[in-house]
Amino acid sequence: MSSATQLDILSDDSSFYGDDDEQARLEHLAATYDPEPFWSEIHPRLLSTTQHELQAPSTQIKTEPMPQDNAPTPTLGAKDRRGPKESISSFLSRLPPSTTHVTEAGPWIWMWGPTPHATEGGNFPVFTRKGTELLEAYEEESSTLRAAHDKSGAKTTAALTRKLNPIRRTLEQSILDLAKETSVTSGKWMFFPSEKEVDATWKTVVTAMDEGKLGDAAKVATNDGSGQARLLCVYTRDFSDKEDVKRVLKTLVAMGLVDEESRPIYYKCDAYTYLDIKSKNDYGLKASLFSSRDVLSGKM
């Protein structure tokens, strides 16, 4: 290929970037893209961000050594997590979730297992962008179906529901497939100990985490002054690894934190969290992938 031909291909007048409409679309996206929501709302919540902050050099609080103790003073962790050399007892006494206020440590107290959480490979910007496009496409299609239903004058919504259900299932599968493609695969079992029970429950989880019996990360909500039950999450690496999801759940049952016969707990993939898909959403999606009852009964 001649140099002149190469210059033609790479010039602004070439079709390398698509036709005029495509170039205009791309220029519009570039001009209107706002990165602030990702960096202010999603990035701080990523497990990879938390892990990076844990490993990064920081100003650390040190305990005063006892006069009779000549051993090196253990280094405490940041205000919202266990330090790399901090004992479990020190961590739990320093940050008891029942009394650690949200203004002191932020919304969560974190605990990491022996194996760091594998989230660095996740392409979160691509996932959130394409995931949002999937949600918008569903909204557009469902709006068209609803408008046609309203125009038909039908007295029930049965026919509309029959049409919406397949595209909801397609939307759910598309989001999960995208999460796998972009390595946004972490998820968590969620349960809600009362304010009186949260310290003991957190201690049980933290101890099991330290022994490698659960997933590789956990968090518990700090005290926001409401007196309500606290959200406690135990993470797994991959929501599609059903054996691991089940293993962690059965460990929680064995430790007495989950009762097989009473109210179930639920597992939610972080992909839904990043897309802000909650229990009541406009897409008709279930916010959780599994319940403990489904998993333990073999219906997962």
Average pLDDT, the chain: 80
What percent of the chain lies above the pLDDT cut of 90?
Answer: 55
pLDDT tens, 25-36? 655 555 544 454
Q: How many CA atoms lie within 13 A of 242 on its CB side?
A: 10
| Per-residue pLDDT band at 192 (split at 50, 70, 90) | very high
The DSSP code for 257 is S
More confident residue, 299 or 214: 214
Backbone angles phi, psi at 121, to 5 degrees: -80, -5
Q: Once rounded to an integer, what is the mean pLDDT over residues 39-44?
A: 54
How does residue 42 score in pLDDT terms, banded at 50, 70 and 90? low
Residues 20, 81: Cα–Cα separation, whole Å: 52
> Which is more confident, 144 or 64?
144
Query: What was the pLDDT predicted at 156?
Result: 84
Beta-carbon neighbour count of residue 270 at 10 Å? Answer: 23
**Cα 11 from Cα 179, distance rounded (Å):** 36
Output the furthest CA–CA distance in the chain (Å, rounded): 85
Q: What is the pLDDT of residues 232-251, one digit of tens each?
A: 999 999 999 999 999 999 99
Tell whether the model's pLDDT for residue 86 goes beyond 80. Answer: yes
Q: How many CA atoms lie within 13 A of 12 on its CB side?
A: 2
Check residue 58 and give its pLDDT.
43
- Looking at residue 117, its pLDDT comes to 56
Crossing angle of the two packed helices 158-181 and 124-152, in degrees rounded to 10: 170
Q: Which residues pair with 109 in a beta bridge?
A: 220
pLDDT attached to residue 151: 85
Q: At 280, is the pLDDT very low, low, confident or very high (cuts 50, 70, 90)? A: confident
Q: Are 83 and 56 in contact (CB under 8 A)?
A: no
pLDDT score of 71: 34
How many alpha carbons lie under 13 Å from residue 39 in its C-beta half-sphere? 4
Looking at the DSSP bridge assignments, the partners of residue 187 are 236, 269
pLDDT, position 22: 62
Confidence of residue 84 (pLDDT cuts 50, 70, 90): confident
- Residue 43's pLDDT is what? 54
Are 237 and 215 spatial neighbours (Cβ–Cβ below 8 Å)?
yes
Tokens of 255: 């430790």
Q: 3-state DSSP: the chain helix, strand, coil percent, rounded to 5? A: 45, 10, 45
Cβ–Cβ < 8 Å for 205, 217: no
Three-state SS at 232: strand
**Segment 277-293 mean pLDDT:** 91
pTM (whole model) above 0.85: no
Cα separation, 220 vs 231, in Å, equals 6
292 in Cβ contact with 298 (< 8 Å): no
Is 213 exposed, middle or buried (CB count within 10 Å of its CB: 0-12, 13-18, 19+)?
middle
Confidence of residue 66 (pLDDT cuts 50, 70, 90): very low
Residues 6+ apart with CB under 8 A from 203: 92
CA distance 224 to 87: 26
